Amino acid sequence: SLVDWQEQERAASPRFNDYERIRLERVPASRGWDVADWEFRWTASGGRLHVLDRNLRINDRRAYALYWSVPDDQWTQLKPTFDVIAASFRPAS
């Protein structure tokens, strides 16, 4: 998942105006999945956004991305909502 996000960052970051990487790293996963977070800021036409894109590689054939994008000035207030969503995630069966 981390290698995938590194490749995605190289390809996509030039398209994000004022791109600023916050972190790009593996995340411990309790279910044995390969998980990585790509967190960054960029400026869209409506203002500065804060993004967390979580890559969850379930196995060699299945992966998911949880993409969370909010106005930068609301990040601290809204981040707990992402945490609830991420904790409740279950792959399709």
Q: What pLDDT band is residue 29 in, cutting at 50, 70 and 90?
A: confident
What is the pLDDT, as a whole number, of residue 93? 77
pLDDT digits (tens, 9 = 90+) for 2-22: 999 999 999 999 999 999 999
Q: State the burial class of residue 66 (Cβ atoms within 10 Å of its Cβ: 0-12, 13-18, 19+).
A: middle
pLDDT digits (tens, 9 = 90+) for 33-80: 999 999 999 999 999 999 999 999 999 899 999 999 999 999 999 999
